[in-house]
Amino acid sequence: MTVYTDESAARALIVRTARSLFTRGLTHGSTGNLSVRLSDGSLLLTPTGSSLGTVEEADLSRTDPDGTHLDGLRPTKEAFLHAAFYRVRPGAHAVVHLHSTHAAAVSCLDGVDPADVLPPLTAYYAMRVGRLPLLPYHAPGDSALEPLAGRTARSHHAVLLANHGPVVAGASLEQAADAMEELEETAKLYLLLRGHTTRPLTPGQAAALAPPSP
């Protein structure tokens, strides 16, 4: 577990991670948002309308644990999602939400299992993500999603928002970003393999690799 006691270092880490995700095509335009939970319980988030490719340390927002704006630029309109994850996952110290292309594509498919959208095609997906529930569509920024997200986050550190994109919590920002990338790559594999007979991990194999709860 990483406890972020140095706000300046946490700001630098958020910007560094944002740049990495953006330059490698995991997010685009002004989509996606990142946060970390500081040791005093406040949240440091990317601001609304910002691009992860250009956001600066001074631009970041700070809110209280419930997502109420304290200082900095206005926080992402999805700050309530981050707050919901932190509220029910005491070991989580970072949340990543992206609109990554392949995961977003899967979120638009009809007929997927809402209890577990992606099969465990690889060991690393089973280790870093595990089960991935699909939450029903809500417009971006619709706080009506908050109670459902909170209930689901009690037992899942990653969710997929219908017609939107994934949200992943982790014990550190590096861990959350790694799990997000694994989720995106597995979504890509899933789409590439549609129409083919696949051989995912068995339930026992996947359970043996299930990630610890942050």
The catalytic site residues sit at 78, 124
- Max intra-chain CA distance, the chain: 52
Distance (Å, whole) CA 78 – CA 205: 35
Distance (Å, whole) CA 180 – CA 79: 18
- Burial class of residue 124, CB neighbours in 10 A (0-12, 13-18, 19+): middle
Q: Give the 3-state secondary structure of residue 118.
A: coil
- Closest Cα to residue 100, out of 160, 169, 55, 45? 160
Q: Which element (helix H / strand E) includes 102?
A: helix 101-107
DSSP annotation string for 158-199: EEEETTTEEEEEESSHHHHHHHHHHHHHHHHHHHHHTTS---
